[in-house]
Structure 1
């Protein structure tokens, strides 16, 4: 049965809050569009919440989960934003039972929708315009090629092989492929990089945040292609560059490092497209609209 609620610009948000995370970016964007956000980061008891005051509640997947009490008393739209795929499916299915959402938002891996009881919508990560936003010309950037991400041998063996290939092939260039950069320094590195390389997890294949971080910082993104990526409406050769083999990756990185005018045009178009369609303000407006339809 579909329940209709009176929508107000007041929202509950439950997640393990950190400075640099999709949940935090979305929270700030909601505030930016005029939504009053009340966060709960450790526990929420709906027996103490006046449901009439809120347009809904969003639970955001984070490493730290919020303890939820008396969920049956939450007489408002309930949404659960899922960030991971197969590697955390069982955990997220258990969280769905705890949160009892009306709607599941998935950042990627839509083929897993069948496992959830609630209706599922595509809700990808986005560009945080306060942090990952730079239009510095590529010619003035120090690093030719950069990457920051998990390199754990158990989970990222294929990625490590690709990084070794890039490191060896472009040894005469100024690269940053193995830096242990904190998230607070990530935008500085990407904003000083001509090309940002992206390769997803080979077993999970997510639409990861690196896509939005690299492109938002004005670098040329060269990336593999994963399931649901086309739903972003990004065009290969216009907004970013897709590679489908190791040889193609080497060829394309080499080409754009020696054709910087073309690289600049694509990088600029990519950043422009994110600003027009994929900021967290866009996500915030979408969330408010989705909640009003529950």
Structure 2
């Protein structure tokens, strides 16, 4: 596609935006920038600059007119010119660089029949929003590397089927993931085994020299970090990556593609992100794990009117709306008729849902997921009342298989669905029967086998891991979860870490970074710089760095771990996240 990033600020000075542009270009797009500011000799070739104020040029009259121009007039003028410059490029997709520029992107998209991409925290872009368009339009849910399979698209007209046990006997698959109770790899692995597949599991390290020639393909399942170590050379076996997080993990997915040598991506949801990837993308949603549902109670006699199991978060964050929803529901029903918890094993969760009439679902505001909860609730025979996740209608039919949540009156809505002669039980049963015919993990196995057959194990040009780079870059590159870096005295890192956003010698105290790097030429107060580290501190030369390692390691309430890699000291601050945390050493 031809993609245009539009911004009111100076894009080349923003590492995050320049990394986005670089990654989209590497993935195969014709990517352009339209932004304000005067042209510079260091500007890339793919940029269109517009003066932030007009009339442009020298002279006392022009300068006076610019100075007298009210801010609102200046902004309207700039927005009009940004729209015109964007339309002139005739893009297929327009990226809004900030919340304030979304209306600009929408106006331009209306004039050139394009879609708009934005951060989930930005205002909705209406009918032009790629989030809304992608589920039903393959132009916006495909990779530049070509279309994947048509499974779970509007063109998928397969009838329901019952997968027979042992049907894929003779197939050999390596499935690679770090085991946790909640990782969906466990359910896919069980379904592969039921299908008769010879399944070989890898947890921490995949050594290609040990992978037999009889293996048909390898599938990595996104797992808590650290990423799985991969050594040796792939002898020509297709490699697939099942990614099941959205926008906040897309950069990490790109680094996993490079690390694992991936040839095709399986996206569980957020199919509007497919254009980011340099390999074919296939829709591969979560599914119902039949082994998790054990003798659910009849719907009319279930003891809980409404239930929810999942993260509630604390303070201000992505689950604010979720906490508000559950509070409202808790006030609408007697305490013994609701069951809300964030502390339950998958087995305990299944038992809760087996006893609930309604399960509510909210995916948070960081991305737009079709969550595991969708399938867990439907698999248990509960009625799913959910936020209207993009793409859900490709899998189920609204008001026949699920009900869209009334966020303003959730208590009244759930009460109507659970009391009297309402269709709640009928909808729950209809959804359950539909899932048994299309959405078990056993059905996903059939999709997976077919996708693997269509996947070519060709290398991806331009996505090789860097060679001849510094020890600092080598060390950082081992941590795929690092997306943002503050590099002090290590300016070479921006070129050596092209898949990450690297700020060079930034002013301390302005923002937080996944990693703060203290290089040989650091000339700021080290203590101030280290304070900006959210996850890691990386030190090139500990003896000369000025870093008080004992002060960091002995931080209360943190499981800090210090490791040495590539002659570099890495301090893991033990920050919670999608990871297996370090163990506190005595």
Same fold (TM over 0.5): yes
Alpha-carbon contact 2:246-2:367 (below 8 Å) kept:
yes
2:248 paired residue among 73, 87, 93: 87
* Shift of residue 134, structure 1, vs aligned partner: 4.6
* Paired residue secondary structure (2:273): helix
Give the structure 2 partner of residue 281 of structure 1: 442
TM-score by length of 1: 0.91
The count of aligned residue pairs is 286
Runs of 4+, deviation exceeding 4 Å: none
- Give 3-state SS (helix, strand or coil) of 1:124's partner: coil
Match of 2:192 among 20, 27, 30: 30
> Is 2:328 the counterpart of 1:165?
yes
Q: Distance in 2 between matches of 1:256 and 1:48?
A: 55
The runs of 5 or more residues in structure 2 that have no matched partner are 1-144, 147-168, 456-586
TM-score when normalising by structure 2: 0.47
In the alignment, structure 1 residue 104 sits paired with structure 2 residue 104: no
Residue number among 163, 168, 177 corresponding to 2:340 in the alignment = 177
Contact 1:10–1:56 at 8 Å: present in 2 too? yes
Q: Does 1:186 align with 2:349?
A: yes
Aligned to 2:173: 11
Q: How far apart are residue 155 of structure 1 and its match? A: 2.4
Per the TM alignment, residue 172 of structure 1 is displaced from its structure 2 partner at its CA by: 6.7
**CA 1:10/1:213 → structure 2, altered by over 3 Å: closer, same or farther?**
same
After superposition, give the CA deviation of every residue in 1:85-123 in whole Å (9 maximum; x if it has no partner). Answer: 112122211111111211100001111112111111110
Q: Deviations over 1:183-228 (max 9, x none)?
A: 2211110001111111111231200000100110111111111112
Question: 3-state SS of the aligned residue for 1:68?
Answer: strand
Aligned pair partner of 1:224 in 379, 384, 387: 387
- The 3-state SS of whatever aligns with 1:73 is coil
Quick one: distance in 2 between partners of 1:26 and 1:264?
29
Kindly state the Cα deviation for residue 53 of structure 1 after the two structures are TM-superposed. 0.6
Distance in 2 of aligned mates of 1:172 and 1:119 = 48
Cα distance change of structure 1 residues 281 and 199 upon mapping to structure 2, 3 Å threshold = same
The more displaced of 237-246 and 194-203 is: 237-246
**Distance change in 2, residues 1:169/1:19 (3 Å):** closer
C-alpha separation between the residues in 2 aligned to 1:85 and 1:30? Answer: 25
The whole-number CA distance in structure 1 between the counterparts of 2:295 and 2:257 is 37
Contact 1:137 1:264 survives alignment (8 Å): no
**1:237 lines up with 2:399 in the alignment:** yes
Q: Distance in 2 between matches of 1:198 and 1:108?
A: 15
Q: CA deviation at 1:47?
A: 2.2
Partners of 2:270 and 2:390 within 8 A in 1: yes
Distance 1:255 1:173 in 2: 18
Q: CA RMSD in A?
A: 2.0
What is the Cα deviation at residue 20 of structure 1? Answer: 4.0
Distance, in Å, in 2 between the alignment partners of 1:286 and 1:175 is 37
1:46 matched to which residue of 2? Answer: 208
Q: Which secondary structure does the structure 1 equivalent of 2:363 belong to?
A: coil
Q: What's 2:557 paired with?
A: none
Counterpart secondary structure, 1:181:
coil
Distance 1:53 1:25 in 2: 23
Cα distance in 2, alignment partners of residues 272 and 198 from structure 1: 20
Q: Distance in 2 between matches of 1:227 and 1:258?
A: 29
- Larger helix proportion of the pair: 1
Q: Which has the higher contact order (CA 8 A, sep 6+)?
A: 1
Structure 2 CA distance for partners of 1:260 and 1:94, relative to 1, 3 Å = farther
CA contact (8 A) 2:254 2:277 kept: yes
Equivalent residue, structure 1, for 2:312? 151
Counterpart secondary structure, 1:203: coil
Corresponding position of 1:196: 359
CA-CA distance at 1:250 after TM superposition:
3.1
Is contact 1:139–1:260 with CA below 8 Å preserved after alignment? no
- Contact 1:225-1:244 at 8 Å conserved across structures: no
Q: Distance between the aligned counterparts of 1:172 and 1:85, measured in 2?
A: 34
Contact 2:175/2:218, CA 8 A, preserved across alignment: yes
The CA distance in 2 between the partners of 1:283 and 1:197, in whole Å, is 24
Please tell me whether the aligned partners of residues 87 and 204 of structure 1 are also in contact (alpha carbons under 8 angstroms). Answer: yes
Counterpart position of 1:292 = 453
Asked which structure has the greater CA Rg, the reply is 2
- Picking from 292, 297, 301, the partner of 1:136 is 297
Question: Distance between the aligned counterparts of 1:217 and 1:278, measured in 2?
Answer: 13
Shift of 1:133: 5.7
Q: Determine whether 1:207 maps to 2:365.
A: no
Alignment partners' CA distance in 1, 2:175 and 2:343: 31
1:126 to 271, 274, 287: 287
